[in-house]
Chain A
């Protein structure tokens, strides 16, 4: 990984490549590319005779929502305390919980292999600035043609706009569709119906609907009772 990074930095000055380590057992470390130089770096990865990463097997998206992080910070404060009848300032160390919001982003991940050299996979990734208005990334379709449909799918399901893509339309959903279903904050349409084995979120929704139906039935009963009371002519 370090070698690839050094090779990229030698070939593309100011590439801004970072190594993102993966602490899990699989240890699949990846290279995070700066979107501004991504196409040049990708072309280098493909054309370099040593690397020759000529095959893009998989491209996918990741949604990182805004994350609230609670941190415990030790703060030293001066507190006035009554010691032996006299008020004296005493220094005290208090643990405080501070909350900060880590802004979210969208990420595109590419898995590269080399058919010529028989090695891989090299994972490269790119992050957008945020999740709302700056969701543009350079398209790697000009470098690896197999990215075309996969980038369309990422655009469809995550909402990353790939600049330089030859045909960026929705792939799975219809053109009129406005949402991005694979984002964490996607709310699916509420077309609930009877579910025999409801659990988790589905069960919650089932209970809500049951309550709504019960409320409606009570309303019906009330109106019927009113009808009986007043007579059908009323």
Chain B
């Protein structure tokens, strides 16, 4: 590992020192292509974010891909109904690793104002792993950009080996997440236990 001060000193002399990990993560984090799909009103803010005023292209994410096979990131932009949830999980499964998820808005992270309803999923993190949650109804484009920068920081901090390495470098990590079945009364199962533990309300008295 090269000392940070030495690195800067060498840079002044015209010598560029880096590590494979740094270079690899730099490349990964600056070319995240989102998937082109929106679910509800948050999608309008997502569209605004990509337009010239907020310009998500500054972060290397201007290319919204219409196919999950070509996308690196899924922005869950809006309410996920129980009717739509299996399709969202299926689309996520069809994306190639490495893949990331931003849950955008109150509905996507928890069900939001529809939480007590019969037809809205209480957060997409019940079925797929979410990297960044953004609260807001809907979140402003700045919030989406902030979430994006948070995701970039997360990618930059990922080691390529050992504990905490990205899923595509871990042969034992799950590549596919079970798609819930639309049952007679509710989605079955109502949550994927691997990604969504029940909230820790279990207190010992």
Contacts and interface: CB of A to CB of B under 8 A. Distances in A.
A177 B201 contact: no
B202 A176 contact: no
A172 B201 CA distance: 33
A191 interface: yes
A221 B204 CA distance: 9
Interface string A174-198: 1111110100001011010111000
B19 interface: no
Contacts of A177: 182, 184-185
| Chain A residues touching B, range | 20 to 34
B88 to A, nearest CB: 14
A213 interface: yes
B5 interface: no
A205 to B, nearest CB: 10
Contacts of A209: 201
A interface secondary structure, majority: loop
A196 to B, nearest CB: 10
Nearest to A187: B185
Contact of B186 (A186, A189, A195): A189
B190 A191 contact: yes
Interface string B119-134: 1001000000000000
A181 B83 CA distance: 14
Nearest to B121: A191
Interface in B107-149: 115-116, 118-119, 122
B32 interface: no
A217 B200 CA distance: 12
A178 B182 CA distance: 11
Interface residues of B, number: 21
A174 B202 contact: no
Nearest to B83: A174
A178 B205 contact: no
A35 B53 CA distance: 58
A214 B203 CA distance: 7
A202 interface: yes
A217 B202 contact: yes
A193 B199 contact: yes
Nearest to A186: B118
Nearest to A189: B186
Given A174-B82, A217-B203, 14 more contacts: A173-B82, A173-B83, A174-B182, A177-B185, A179-B184, A179-B185, A186-B118, A189-B190, A191-B191, A193-B122, A194-B199, A202-B116, A213-B202, A221-B204
Interface of B: 82-83, 115-116, 118-119, 122, 182-186, 190-191, 198-199, 201-205
26 contacts: A173-B82, A173-B83, A174-B82, A174-B83, A174-B182, A175-B182, A176-B183, A177-B182, A177-B185, A178-B184, A189-B186, A191-B122, A191-B190, A191-B191, A193-B198, A193-B199, A194-B199, A194-B201, A195-B115, A209-B201, A210-B201, A214-B205, A216-B202, A217-B203, A217-B204, A217-B205
